[in-house]
Structure 1
Amino acid sequence: MVRISRVLLRDAGAGISKTISEILVCPLSKQPLRFCEKTNSLISDVIGVSFPIVDGIPCLVPKDGKILETDDTLKPDGDADSLVMNKEG
């Protein structure tokens, strides 16, 4: 049991598994989240909020979310203009 716990703690900072990230959704918009390796967080591109991952556990409580600047909310395809328009309008 102790050996398993050490393995889990060692790998906790490495992000989350792909299976879990495919299941999790934003608690506010109910849309899929994108994993960001740079900030070790889950990002909701729809509303521009980043949720931290602490010790391998996603913190998806709305008060834990951080509103991102427009540069940070770039979708993988680089379509940031539609995000800015959605936030403003």
Structure 2
Amino acid sequence: MVRGSRVLLLKDGGGGGGNALFKVLSDILVCPLSKQPLRHCPDSRSLVSDAVGVSFPIINGIPCLVPKDGKLLEDEIKLKVDDSSIAKGTRRDRQLRIQ
């Protein structure tokens, strides 16, 4: 296992962005809540479970998959719905349905 990790880190340039490592880990890691695959989000530096709408942080290159460390993504979803409803002119109705 250690040899395999070293090879991955060397291919990736010593852990610069972790892309090679994340590709391998994406085949192994799943959401601790839904047991579904996780998606890497480089912008927020986290692993996202689309199945339950939770984002798990990556701290110092280590994914923190403890359920209490997860962050709900409902705020982002709510903002997207509000923005799309503004264009349609039904913002108030949409907000009432969501809340």
TM-score (norm 1): 0.63
Q: Paired residue for 2:17?
A: 14
Q: Does 1:61 align with 2:78?
A: no
Q: CA deviation at 1:22?
A: 1.7
User: 1:35/1:71 Cα in 2 relative to 1: closer, same or farther (>3 Å)?
Assistant: farther
Q: Which fold has the larger relative contact order, with Cα–Cα distance below 8 Å and residues 6 or more apart in sequence?
A: 1
**Equivalences for 1:1-89 in 2 at 5 Å?**
11=15, 14-15=17-18, 17=21, 18-68=23-73, 69-70=76-77
1:53-79 superposed Cα distances (whole Å, 9 cap, x missing partner): 01110000000000012179xxxxxxx
Q: State the TM-score, normalizing by the size of structure 2.
A: 0.57
- Give ranges in structure 2 of 5+ residues lacking alignment: 1-5, 80-97
Percent identical residues: 62
**Could you say which structure has the larger radius of gyration?**
2
The runs of at least 4 consecutive aligned structure 1 residues that moved more than 4 Å come to: none
Residue number in structure 2 paired with 1:80: none
Give the match's secondary structure for 2:27: helix
1:14, distance to aligned residue in structure 2 (A): 2.3
User: Aligned with 1:29: secondary structure?
Assistant: coil
CA shift digits 1:10-62 (9 cap, x unpaired): 62x62461101221000000000000011110000011000000111000000
